[in-house]
Amino acid sequence: MWQAEACFRLHKETFMLILAAILAIFVYGIIAAMLGTILPDLSTRHSLTPKQNGNIAMSQAIGLMVGSFFVGPLIDVQGMKTGLLLGLALIVVALLGLRTAGGYGAIAGMMFTLGVGGGIVVVGANNMPPHIPVGALSTAGVYNLLNLFFGLGGLVTPLVAARLFQNNSARLLVFASGLTGVTLAVHALTEMPAGPTGFQVSQVVGLLGEPGLLALAFLLFLYVAAEVGVWNWLARHLIAQGVPEAKALTVLSLGFALGLLLGRVAVSPVLSTVAPETVLLGAAVLMTVTTYIMLQSASANVAWMLVFLGGVAMAPVFPTALAVVNAKFPAAAATATGIAVTAGWFGLVVSSPVIGGIAGDDPKRLKKALLVLPVASLVMVAVSFTL
């Protein structure tokens, strides 16, 4: 009887930990897609200029960097539960604050808060896979399956906004805050591993000088810059090549997004027999090839196939790189993860300005500007060899 009760308790704790991790990543997927979904409505209601829209997006990116960098030591000292509860609480506050924000300054402030909360949740949730036993899958495989729910959150947000709430941002924000509140309650009820004993905040300086961590951080910087380049600019490039707008957006959503989702499912079992570093190298090589070829076609059908393959190639990079970070720096896993993720967010900050600056005012120059994607991927190949 005692053994049966202990086994039941163990399975319950594992189930709750898996549920908490899935909900956290799903919520962040919703948050990542939130600005693009609500900004048209907010811009109309508050008469926001394009420059103000850009500043609002920048405030969220800066918040992501702040949250992911500073939460690492907190999690390593106090445990991931403390960090995740803080991040989820900030997200609830920001979402409800956006619903009642009275103008540009308040919206920018709430988006910064949303970014801080999102950065905290990404770091916290991506430190959970090593503690989740799921059969024959490797830890890197668990990372990839977990981050599948980020993509699902990103796909659900615009769909719910358009079909359920008729693009009413206030209703969407209430829905998202309610879902985040449920996630917060689940995390509060879930037993989570405490931080490693003996961690000192002074170790952060030492980690910043670790060549292996710097290489992984640079890899994520390049990867996020490339992925954001596809999300933000590919549809515009296809339109400039003569592809109708509706088809261009379909290529992006049902091509690239679907490739990311299915790619993470497909690579998870592969990581049980292939080293994560080898997967990163292979993904970087495939990214170099697919991102270059996808820019050469003006046919919507051919572009869909190539963009889908590009999504499959990119799929394992972010979660697998974080799995490598966790494996190489177990004594300060959250802090190391925070440093690597912060570098990734910096890629988000610089990607669009660089591509936009090269393209200038001519949409047809986007084909040349988007060569940044295969170039970044090629540099990723070189960085992967150093791992």
Q: pLDDT of the chain along its 387 residues, tens only?
A: 444 444 445 477 888 899 999 999 999 988 888 877 787 788 888 888 878 887 888 899 999 999 999 998 889 888 889 999 999 999 999 999 998 888 899 999 999 999 999 999 999 999 998 888 776 778 899 999 999 898 888 777 777 777 777 777 888 899 999 999 999 999 999 988 775 556 666 677 788 889 999 999 999 999 999 998 888 788 788 888 888 877 777 777 778 888 888 999 999 999 999 999 999 999 999 999 999 998 887 777 888 898 899 999 999 999 999 999 999 998 888 899 999 999 999 998 888 788 888 877 777 788 888 899 999 999 999 999 998
Number of domains in the chain: 2
Taking the model in full, what pTM does it have? 0.87
pLDDT at residue 2, rounded to an integer:
42
Where does a domain end: 195, 217, 246?
A: 195
Q: Answer yes or no: do 299 and 212 share one domain.
A: yes
pLDDT at residue 199, rounded to an integer:
64
Where does a domain end: 138, 162, 195?
A: 195
Task: Domain of residue 147: give its range.
Answer: 1-195
Q: Answer yes or no: do 206 and 191 share one domain.
A: no
Where does a domain end: 195, 220, 239?
A: 195
Q: Answer yes or no: do 3 and 70 share one domain.
A: yes
User: At 215, which amino acid appears?
Assistant: A
Q: Answer yes or no: do 105 and 217 share one domain.
A: no
Q: Answer yes or no: do 215 and 148 share one domain.
A: no
Q: Answer yes or no: do 259 and 367 share one domain.
A: yes
Q: Answer yes or no: do 186 and 211 share one domain.
A: no
Q: Answer yes or no: do 239 and 377 share one domain.
A: yes
Q: Answer yes or no: do 32 and 161 share one domain.
A: yes
Cα-Cα-Cα-Cα torsion 102, 105, 110, 111, nearest 10 degrees, comes to 120
pLDDT at residue 1, rounded to an integer:
43
Q: Answer yes or no: do 211 and 150 share one domain.
A: no
pLDDT at residue 196, rounded to an integer:
58
